[in-house]
Structure 1
Amino acid sequence: MDDDDDFVHPIFRSAPGEDSGSDTLGLYRFQAEIAAQACLAMLTHEDIEYVVCEWHEDFVVGFKDGRVELVSVKHRQYRRTLWNVGDLCKDGGLAHLFNSWRACGGASNVQLRLTTNGALNTSKNNAAALARMCGSDPEVTDGIDTVAKAIAQYFLKIRWKQPYSNIPVVPEVARMADIAIPDGFIATIKAFMAVLHIDFEKVPSARFVTDVNIQQLLRPAIASLGLDHVDVETTYRRLVERIEKANRGEGERGQLAEYIANPSRARYNTQMQHRIARRTLYRSSVLEEIVYSRLTVPTFARGQLPVSAPGGANLRKKLARGLVPPDEAAHAEKLRSAWYLAWAQHRSGLPGDITDLANMRLEVAATAFECREHAQNATGEGRPYGARMNRLLTQQLTPEQMSAALPFKINKMHLRGLAYQLCDECEFYFSEWFDVAGEEAS
């Protein structure tokens, strides 16, 4: 056995029991579509860093400040009666969330959310009251001890049949009211309620969730990113399919929450790192699923006259020193201006643009260095190689060969324009290095 296996918590070695929220493909799709809401939020909310598709809990949202939110999704058919506290504890997933939270050691960076489309029972001290008693600043505090005691008893009863290792075992009795509650357990339940949010008021049913997500989340995100010609229906379908694949696309099924909440636990466990990585989606993952009805953003926007980008003197000097033909040099200037306009018009305006552009700049510069090396080797020592290097850039700088992604679909001329901009910024040369400032403009 691999040494890493000894490090895995026993909960990872068993598949979760069946529950009412995951017994049909349709309800799996509902869970994936609720997870898609968090994924789409990454396009417009910079505080969300990633979403991990889970198994015991449906997904985990990771925030850039180190917080994680464990989310359980439960669909309730319209023919069913209202959720009561007992339903929420057993079929609604609260026992799952509690067990996961305890597995995380009740860490201060862990938050919990139960998302359900089911209406809550509004009778005194029932499910609707529980929802208002949750959170660090509860709306209702009257009756919280009574509700916490009821939840404690429900959890202890559920433990008789379900192997929740973080819920204590007590003797079985005929009446729930006679269950012996261990010392301090009610206080633990109240601490659990303080980090729990029950989301139910505006959660659509499985029948309507697709339309709600597309109209209220995906379309506004596309508009805020300034993206054109997006096939919205296909994009949404691809995103949900990617979530489903991440959720059930591997043989190992185990709860990852305690490792996500405390990354140091998985740091030396390669198996766990790989398992989490296979289930993790980032902002870039969502951008990769965007499908365009038109292949790329136009080099120049329709109806707008091309303008010259600021700068350009350094580029002209470098192209001239490399003996790049004048017509190719003039074309390089136009492509640099095309890139300048495309970035100004189509970037999302969010801080994530900086990282996206930085990654693309690194790849383009690396490609330029490779082209320069090939040009030098093919030309011979001491001979000008700028023209050959420029032709290699034309061949090598294509979107298909770039692993980095930008907030809009680029074409190969955008990439060459970015390369010429990097050259103007003195990231690379079309010849051996020389003092650009001391060179007269051609």
Structure 2
Amino acid sequence: MSREEDAATATQYLLSVEPTDDAGARTADLFEWQAAMAAADGLGMYWDTLDDQGRFTEPENCRIVCEYHEDWVAVRGDAAELVSAKHKETSFGAYTTVRSLLEDGGLAHLFQRWAMLGERPKCRLVTSPGLRPGAPQDLEKAARYLRDRGQAGAAPTITGGPEKVVTDFAAALAAYAADLPLWRNGQQGRGYIPTAEQRDQVTRFLSMLTIEHSRPSRAFISHAAPGMFVKPLLEQRLDAPVTSAEAVWEAVLTLFRIRMRAAGPRPRGDLPQVLAYPLGVTTTDRVEAERRLAPRTVTLAEIDLAVRTALTHPGAYRRLPTLRRTTRLAVKMQEGGCSDNAIERAEHLKRDYRRIWSRRVGGDPTARADRERLVRRLLRIADEATRAVTAPDQPWGDQLWVELQRLVDELSEVAPQPGLDADLLLGGLCDLADQCKIWFSAAFDVQAAIDALRARQEATS
């Protein structure tokens, strides 16, 4: 079978084969990041369908199928690309070894799925970490070299090319591919020398692989996406105002959020298929697959409709403004990354603490001295907690809040304060923070921050 004939069957074969696993469950943040990366792919495909006047011509069978085989499949006509999206926290750093790419980056799973699908689809790894110089970057260069040869019409071969990279990758891969036909020889392990057939298969895989690394992490993607993925589309293809970039992004992202949960609408809704299989008419596997995958599929026509609707009614997709407290305590906790619930609780405890001492000071001449002793103790607790949680490159206010609660719990057990339980002691710390004696982040001009926040709220009201 020629390469052209083989490619022509990729989509039909891929969509008709059931995945060996169908786990799409993710935590909310990681799910949002994957949906954002899939939406970026969808906008990239949509870009290619627009002419210089921004007119959309829907291509045949051009779509993205979510959470199928891998995180999604990009389909263009008879060509298909498996996409695996792997997010890592900033503490992960970069991929430092080939083994890390196989395990943490998911290349081993991607290779297995590609091989099980008859080596038909192209493959892509989309990931947030970068690649460290050495073996990881050499692997990316080898994949690019072999891919370029294939695009130029040459057979993917390592003769005169990246022989060592292919051999090292095959040797590392052997520990993960034992279920595949060419890898069932039981000799995997340190010092393993791959066979010629295994090296050839790895060569074919790398010739169809793209590694797309250093993508924005989940902490930044919501802020970066409108500028990175939508603004160029509005400026260069649609001649639309870039002020609508956030609305367009939210409209397109919403499509992918729904379809990645396999919850997309079917054209017929839930109406039954009446006389779907009349006598003498054959329904192909591909038609059945397309019908079954409709809830997971995002078409370019749907993306076009979402984009045009958001441009016409941008206000419908803008996020509702959040009403923020403008007390010194609230602004400082917000700067430190504390949740809204934590801030509300802190404000409540602060008021209770002040009410208790207002009553005591009014009726007990020794209460002021007792309060000052407690303040010194609370400041010591705050100092200890701050040293325990301070992080130079990320918000640490939420961790401080947890640590303060832990320390006042201990204080209540070891040295109970008359009339003050652990929650009221935490309220004392909140009162000190409101006086700018305790911080949930590096110190800053609190009054300027309050003035700016009030100005923004007045502008959006």
TM-score of the pair, normalised by structure 2:
0.49
Alignment partner, residue 119 of structure 1 = 130
Alignment partner, residue 176 of structure 1 = 190
| 1:202-243 deviation digits (Å, cap 9, x = unpaired) | x22222223332113212323422446985434322322321
Show the 5 A alignment for 1:306-345.
none
Alignment partner, residue 76 of structure 1 = 88
Which of these residues, 114, 123, 134, is aligned with residue 143 of structure 2?
Answer: 134
Which of these residues, 241, 248, 251, is aligned with residue 235 of structure 1?
Answer: 248
Alignment partner, residue 203 of structure 2 = 190
| Structure whose residues are more often helix by fraction | 2
Distance (whole Å) between structure 2 residues aligned to residue 241 and residue 197 of structure 1: 27
Q: CA deviation at 1:46?
A: 2.2
Alignment partner, residue 220 of structure 2 = 208
C-alpha spacing 1:13/1:198, structure 2 compared with 1 (3 Å): closer
Q: CA deviation at 1:278?
A: 2.3
C-alpha spacing 1:165/1:276, structure 2 compared with 1 (3 Å): farther
Alignment partner, residue 290 of structure 2 = 273
Distance (whole Å) between structure 1 residues aligned to residue 101 and residue 32 of structure 2: 21
Q: CA deviation at 1:118?
A: 0.9
Q: CA deviation at 1:186?
A: 1.0
Aligned partners of 2:263 and 2:296 also within 8 Å: no
Q: Which amino acid aligns with 2:249?
A: Y
Show the 5 A alignment for 1:3-402.
9=17, 12=19, 14-16=21-23, 23-46=26-49, 49-64=62-77, 66-83=78-95, 84-107=97-120, 110-123=121-134, 126-135=135-144, 136-137=147-148, 144-159=162-177, 165=180, 168-171=183-186, 175-178=189-192, 181-201=194-214, 203-223=215-235, 224-227=237-240, 231-249=244-262, 267-268=284-285, 271-290=288-307, 291-292=309-310, 295=313
C-alpha spacing 1:23/1:217, structure 2 compared with 1 (3 Å): closer
Distance (whole Å) between structure 2 residues aligned to residue 13 and residue 120 of structure 1: 30
Distance (whole Å) between structure 1 residues aligned to residue 310 and residue 263 of structure 2: 29
CA RMSD of aligned residues (A): 3.4
The percentage of aligned residue pairs carrying the same residue is 22
C-alpha spacing 1:92/1:241, structure 2 compared with 1 (3 Å): same
Q: Which has the higher contact order (CA 8 A, sep 6+)?
A: 1
Alignment partner, residue 363 of structure 2 = none
Alignment partner, residue 381 of structure 1 = none
Q: CA deviation at 1:270?
A: 5.2
Q: CA deviation at 1:41?
A: 1.9
Aligned partners of 2:244 and 2:310 also within 8 Å: yes
Q: Which amino acid aligns with 2:209?
A: L
C-alpha spacing 1:147/1:56, structure 2 compared with 1 (3 Å): same
Q: Which amino acid aligns with 2:126?
A: T
Distance (whole Å) between structure 1 residues aligned to residue 245 and residue 220 of structure 2: 16
Distance (whole Å) between structure 2 residues aligned to residue 292 and residue 243 of structure 1: 15
Aligned partners of 1:37 and 1:217 also within 8 Å: yes
C-alpha spacing 1:288/1:46, structure 2 compared with 1 (3 Å): closer
C-alpha spacing 1:157/1:245, structure 2 compared with 1 (3 Å): same
Distance (whole Å) between structure 1 residues aligned to residue 36 and residue 72 of structure 2: 11
| 1:34-71 deviation digits (Å, cap 9, x = unpaired) | 1111111233212972222134412222224x322221
Aligned partners of 1:39 and 1:283 also within 8 Å: yes
Distance (whole Å) between structure 2 residues aligned to residue 177 and residue 192 of structure 1: 22
Give the number of aligned pairs: 260
C-alpha spacing 1:228/1:267, structure 2 compared with 1 (3 Å): farther
Aligned partners of 1:39 and 1:286 also within 8 Å: yes
Q: CA deviation at 1:102?
A: 1.7
Runs (4+) of structure 1 exceeding 6 A deviation are 140-143
Distance (whole Å) between structure 2 residues aligned to residue 293 and residue 23 of structure 1: 31
Distance (whole Å) between structure 2 residues aligned to residue 129 and residue 29 of structure 1: 31
Distance (whole Å) between structure 1 residues aligned to residue 260 and residue 248 of structure 2: 19
| 1:266-315 deviation digits (Å, cap 9, x = unpaired) | 9336542223322221221112323447559xxxxxxxxxxxxxxxxxxx
Distance (whole Å) between structure 2 residues aligned to residue 229 and residue 77 of structure 1: 30
- Structure 1 residues not aligned, in runs of 5+: 1-6, 252-265, 297-442
